[in-house]
Structures are given as C-alpha cells and as structure tokens.
A and B are shown apart, each in its own frame.
Chain A
C-alpha cells in the first residue's frame, strides 16, 4: 500500500471530494483525520477517517485540530486542503460578506491550515519521511465559469499561494501542489447547475447537464474518485519530484477553445 504508516489530515473531509480522498487514503494504509464543519458534511452522512470538527477560517479552531494531531502522532505526512465553498453570483450581486466568506474558507482556510500544519510536516520531512501539501485550486482559477466571480478569484489566489509555499518550503522537504478539478459530480456541482448563475437559458437541468457533458473530450463528468486518484499519487512517494505545480484534471475540457452552446 502506497501510504502505509503515513498520517493524513483532510479538510472538507466530509464533502464530496474530501470524503473520496479520505476513503482512498485509508485504503492505502494511511491514518486519516477527516476535518469538517459538521460530522455529516455536505452529503449528510458519516464517512471514512476519524472526524475532527474544524472551521478552517478560524485560527483557534485550526490550531486546536492540529494540536490534536501533534499530541496523537507528533508528525503529519499529508495535508489536503479540500474545504471550499462557492458563491454563484457575479460581483455585482455578491455582497461584501459573501465575498469575505468565500475568501475566508477557500484562501484563508488554506493559509491557516497549512500554517499550523507546517511544524508537523517538517517533523515528518526531518525523519526522512515524505511531507506533501495538496491544495484545491480549480480549472476556474485559469478560465471563468459564468456567475462564479468570487469563487474564480479565490482559486486564482490558491494557485499563486501553492507556488509560493512550494518555493518557501521545498528546501525543508515539503512538496506543495494544487489539484485543479473541472466539472466533478458533487453536491457543489448540483448546486451550480440549479443556481441562477449557471446560464441555463430555459433549458431543463437534464438538457443542461448533457450539453456540458458533451463538450468534454471524455464525454463525462469527473467523479470524486477520479480526483482522489490524483491526490493519492501526489501524496505518495512516486510524486517525490512533483512540486509547485497546478494539476488540472478536467476530462480535457480546458484543452480546447470555448465551444459551449448551451
């Protein structure tokens, strides 16, 4: 098993993608903390990994969660910053509070969790074990989806932060990468399709979903497991030379010029 004996901490661990990551990490032999706001998360049920209550935007909450990891393990090999929210609005419709919330979770959350995890990651690296941070960017950090302005901006910030962290902490043996999913079948995607900003244009939800699917060279949406496959690779020692990169996993969507006709 690829992650035997490693300790992993996954934020958003009860969400669509985070849950699949926790499940995969456990299968690969890691000891996993699934950190989320609530025990059931966005899917409304329990899941793999040991649950830790966490609000990534609150300094004290993040510190308390990582203090627990320190007490129980004294080190951390893998940090996955998967907690994220989206606001389905243009900037004109977005209130200051919504904007701040989106940045608080997606950007500040990544900052705070990484900041408090660094000492533990360094411990793992010093023991010549692997230490890897995997942030969640998005293909929306490169190209925009309609009505997602604040979300797109937060993902661009995560991309830049990923490179900066890789540059600063690489010499300490800590690799930092971001996974940038495209359309992945999760509660967040369902919300996007039903939201006002999706550009539905009177089409039914099924028509809209089929039209978007057909634009993908792979002719399907991603699954949380697809994303977990890549996260698992980046967390493993196979990826020991991969750092500072943004890994787009989108079924080929962004390899082509815009041609959606919804």
Chain B
C-alpha cells in the first residue's frame, strides 16, 4: 500500500480525473475526502468522505479544512473551462473560470497548508494549456498558467515541510474533452486528426493522470517539488504543424 496510513483531500472528485484520483488513492490505502458543489454522488465509495462545498467560497473551504483536520496529501483538481476567445468572454465567464481555477486553488491551499502534516504533498492539476495555447480557450489557458506559477511559489515558500507539484495533463478522455471537440465543424474528423498528433496514438485516460498523482503523493517523490509534470502522450513534444504535411 503506497499511501497506507495517509490522509488526502481531493477537490472535484465527482467525475473524470478527480474521481480517478480518489479511486487510485483509496486502492493504495489512503483515507480520502473529496468535495463538489452538489449532493454526494451515489456511486462514491462509502469510506470516502464527501464535502458539499464550492471551492470559490473561502468560508466553505475553511470550514472543510477545520472539519477534515490534518492531512498528508492535497489535490487541487476542481476546474472548469469556457470555450471562448478574449473578445467573446463575458465578465460572467471571467468569474466562472478565474474564480474556480485560480481563486479556488488559492482558497484551498491557504486553508489546508496550515493543517497539513510535515512531509505533505500538494498536487495541483495544471494543464498543457497553461504552457501552450488551446484555441478559443483564453481564460482557461491563462488560469492554468496561474496554477503553474502558484505551484512553484508554494514549493519555494513551504518547503521542505511540504512539497508542491503540478501535473499538466494533455487531452484526457473526459466530458471536458468532448466539449472541446464540440467546437469543431466536424467533431469526428477533429478527433481523428487529434489522435495522429499524439506520439502514443491515443488520448489519455483519467487513470493515466491518477498514476502520476499517486507517484507524486507517495514518498517515492520525496525530492520532487516545484515542478510541472506533463502527461500528454507526447503531444507537446512535437511541432503543432499538421503531421499530414510530411
């Protein structure tokens, strides 16, 4: 059991990557609590605590930290995207994306760092979009760059007692990916094209990201801090030119 005796708080565990991390950590002996904006999901394992909170609300988050108490692992996974460029983005879009992806991570880190145990590990879910731009995802891209910057700051300020790293997933098969393809004129063609741009010739699965989170959460990663680790099947290692050109 690679996380035996440890306790974790994972934001956004209702579905997708967050749920995969919840399940992976549980399987490795970790005591897990997760949270989301609505009622407890019916298919969530009975031994997993659910906090009905909104990470945008500092009071909600502080109460959760006080209730949950000491933890060893914090995963900031909760995030949203709005598929728009700068000109089309409304104040409401700004509030949605920036308040969740930026303020939410800030709220959770501010509340939980004081109750984290020595040797603790924070894992923020950044994105390749924080390093290279996805078209028509302006606020999302910028919000993930914020996460990467905050990751380095926490590592520098709160080491050596706490490690802090980000995972930058590429295209992972979740509802968010499908929403992205929905923007294309021909979603099926867009999907096929996207796969050929991945060196490993497939999209990622939530478990691929959870495997990296598990490593970073474990004591195996005792020297890893302040880094943004990309898990993207080789997508960003290659030029963005259409592979069909060659």
Contact = CB atoms under 8 A, between A and B. Distances in A.
A218 B223 contact: yes
A238 B231 CA distance: 11
Contact of B238 (A175, A223, A239, A244): A244
A253 B155 CA distance: 10
Contact of B237 (A222, A223, A245, A249): A245
A240 interface: yes
Nearest to B227: A248
Contacts of A167: 199, 234, 237-238
A5 B201 CA distance: 25
Interface string A166-186: 110111010100000000000
A255 interface: yes
B236 A218 contact: no
Interface stretch (A46-54, A197-205, A225-233): A225-233
A229 B221 contact: yes
Contact of A166 (B152, B220, B222, B237): B237
Contacts of A166: 199, 234, 237-238
A146 to B, nearest CB: 22
B229 interface: yes
A242 B212 contact: yes
Interface residues of A, number: 40
A219 interface: yes
Contacts, number: 130
A175 B200 contact: yes
A217 B159 contact: yes
A222 to B, nearest CB: 5
Given A226-B222, A247-B229, A252-B225, A238 B159 contact: no
B69 interface: no
Contacts of A94: none
Contacts of A244: 199, 232, 234-238
Interface of A: 162-163, 166-167, 169-171, 173, 175, 216-220, 222-223, 226-227, 229-230, 232-233, 238-245, 247-256
Interface of B: 151-152, 155-156, 159-160, 163, 170, 198-202, 204-205, 208-209, 211-212, 214-215, 220-227, 229-238
28 contacts: A162-B237, A166-B199, A166-B237, A216-B160, A217-B159, A218-B159, A227-B223, A233-B220, A238-B211, A238-B214, A238-B215, A239-B211, A240-B200, A241-B231, A243-B233, A243-B237, A244-B234, A245-B232, A247-B229, A249-B223, A249-B227, A250-B223, A252-B155, A253-B226, A255-B152, A255-B156, A256-B152, A256-B226
